[in-house]
Structure 1
Amino acid sequence: MKKIISLAAIAAVALSLGMAAVSADAAKLIGEARAKEIALKHAGVAPQQAQFTKMKLDKKYSHTEYELKFYVGGTEYEYDINAETGEVLKFSREVKNHGAPQNAGNAGLIGEAKARGIALSRVPGAKESDIRKFKLDHDDGRQVYEGEIFYNMREYEFKIDAKSGEVVKWEIDG
């Protein structure tokens, strides 16, 4: 009986140490807002000029990184930023449509901030940092913001019409 109690106590301690390590890892991340600031500063772009279409937290073998994609006019920028140190790991800049007016195809969109707010309003208690994937995409002939929220051991996948703000897809796993 003493062995069983001892084993249970050891298991409880190990579990709590593991959970503390996970929480400590999450606390070390720079956050999405800081990752955006770093990318914009590196690119020499003002925040109001950029239209972000992708923001994803990705766990690699040796590190965790934020993958970002944004457009300024007809130029696409892609960045991989170390999620713990803020170091720019990789970046690219590519002119997509030479001389096109800035945000030409994005007129009338509700915007990233409003779309994120709509998604978060459906998950009580979730915060901006719980959004793990977010991008502007085309789906069945219309522009949508799509993404994933991970909160309280559940995964929420969503698509929001980029012009009307209507939630066109909502799935919960877990």
Structure 2
Amino acid sequence: MRRIALLFSVLCLLLAGCGRTTGQIPSDPPQGSSAADQAPQETASGTAQPEILPDDEIPDSSKPSGSSQPADAEIDQDAALALAMENAGVPEKDAYNVKVERDRENDIPIFQVEFETQYGDYDFEIAIADGTIIGADYEVDEEWLDRLGGSPVTLEEAKQVVQSKVPGSSAENVRMREESGDGRGRFEGELFHDGVKYEFEIDPKTGIIFDWNADLRE
């Protein structure tokens, strides 16, 4: 009996030892998941990881200053030429001997725009920074006035024609008088706006500005 009891005790000890393990091999992560999916959301110190926001949700105060649009809004040569032709009322097809060059006027970087037409020569000075016309000089040959067409204008309507050529100006600030010494008649006047003095002559029969000068004044 004692031998049987001893064998029984040894068998119990062996069974108890088989239930113990000295370590576990980590199981593979579930299919479809990655190590990043299994990563804890908190650091070892217990602090949550910062949230990464899309660019359009980042507060303005947190965005780097370089993310704003560049301050450079300069016009190019094509834009300068288009502005000059629009201001002069000259169709592109009528212009030839076109020249657009960088220059400076009163320490202002400009495009010097020059072109010719059958009815007159045109010269413009346009600020590169914003497209402001700070200088202009042209004269239309009077023999072309009727051929270019147009509609008769009164003195008050002629003031509005001038005002429309100078953005931001007011027709009330246009000083104009009627002259009739040469038989055909004309409106002569001047306007001072935003540091530029404009002098002009308008044909009453067609409403065409046939003499125009703009000069930046210090």
TM-score, length basis structure 1: 0.37
Larger proportion of strand: 1
Q: Greater relative contact order (Cα 8 A, min sep 6): structure 1 or 2?
A: 1
The TM-score with structure 2 as length reference comes to 0.30
- Structure of higher CA gyration radius: 2
